[in-house]
Amino acid sequence: MGFNGLVLSGLNHQARFAGRSATDFESRVEGQLAERTRIARELHDTLLQGFFSVSLQLQTAVNYLPADSLAKPRFADLVQLMNRVLEEGRRTVQGLRAPHDEELSSLGHALAAVPNDLGLPSSIRFRVLLEGRQRELKESARDEAYYIGREAVFNAFRHSQATDIETHIEYRANGLRLSVRDNGCGIDPQHLQWGRSGHFGLQGMRERAERIGARLRISSRVALGTEVELWVPGQLAFA
């Protein structure tokens, strides 16, 4: 075999290796998504349902207390606390489990529904803009893009003190770009780099992007707002 044959053989070997690597990578991602779905299902079927049952029984007990009972206000406060814990639990499970395929068939529609799904205030102006011809996304890229966008939207509503939040989805020829931008107070540079103590939102977004081989950029200036930008190359984004 001559020199050209050796070169072609080497190139073919590299192509096969690259193909196997991409397949292995996607298999790992799908396995991680399946495991998160399993954990979410277990949490829902055990802890959340158990807490909900306790909450109902506690509410029934409060209703039986005399109106002039000194203990009634205290138990009523406990019922409200239990309901808040349940709501936080539901949000946690939503963050672990992917919505049904039909709910995510349009990434734009799914992200547009986030404020309503999470009960976020309607006083803040929120809009989703789509650019380019919508293309079918790989399941792993679709799910992670949704959760990164969802977390960014939630953080903007909850922490930024913004009056205007915009989500922009671009279907480009060479990839998918998703950005969430607000006109709020910005993020402290130290928190932007390391995250706030006890909060895992920024780090979680970075880890989700890394899982699918995407690039995440978070830029912010105090009093000028924040932008979260996700870029997924076409070979990883599109089915």
How does pLDDT run across 171-182, given as a tens digit for each residue?
999 999 999 999
Residue 116 sits in which domain range? 107-237
User: Is there a domain that residue 122 lies in?
Assistant: yes
15-72 pLDDT tens trace = 555 555 556 666 776 776 677 777 766 676 677 777 777 888 888 888 999 989 998 9
128 and 227 housed in the same domain: yes
- The stretch 83-112 carries a mean pLDDT of 70
Residues whose CB falls within 8 Å of the CB of residue 100, separated by 6 or more in sequence, listed in order = none
92 and 111 housed in the same domain: no
Domain count across the chain: 2
224 and 125 housed in the same domain: yes
134-156 pLDDT tens trace = 999 998 899 899 989 998 998 89
125 and 202 housed in the same domain: yes
Q: Which residue has the tokens 């606390």?
A: 81
Q: pLDDT at position 26, please? A: 64
Letter string b/e over residues 14-51, b meaning 16 or more CB atoms within 10 A of that residue's CB: eeeeeeeeeeeebeebeeebeebeeebeebbeeebeee
84 and 134 housed in the same domain: no
CATH number at residue 155: 3.30.565.10
113 and 226 housed in the same domain: yes
63 and 117 housed in the same domain: no
Between 3 and 87, name the one with better pLDDT.
87
Q: Which of 38, 73, 96 is the last residue of a domain?
A: 96
163-213 pLDDT tens trace = 999 999 999 999 999 999 999 999 887 767 655 544 457 888 998 899 899
User: Is there a domain that residue 176 lies in?
Assistant: yes
Between 143 and 97, name the one with better pLDDT.
143
Centroid of chain to Cα 216: 13
Residue 230's nearest CA partner among 195, 202, 194, 205 is 205
Q: Which residue has the tokens 């995407």?
A: 214
> Is pLDDT of 161 > 80?
yes
User: Is there a domain that residue 102 lies in?
Assistant: no
User: Of the given ranges (13-17, 47-51, 111-115, 120-124), which has the lowest mean pLDDT?
Assistant: 13-17
User: Is there a domain that residue 2 lies in?
Assistant: no
> Is pLDDT of 96 > 80?
no
111 and 61 housed in the same domain: no
57 and 136 housed in the same domain: no
Q: pLDDT at position 57, please? A: 85
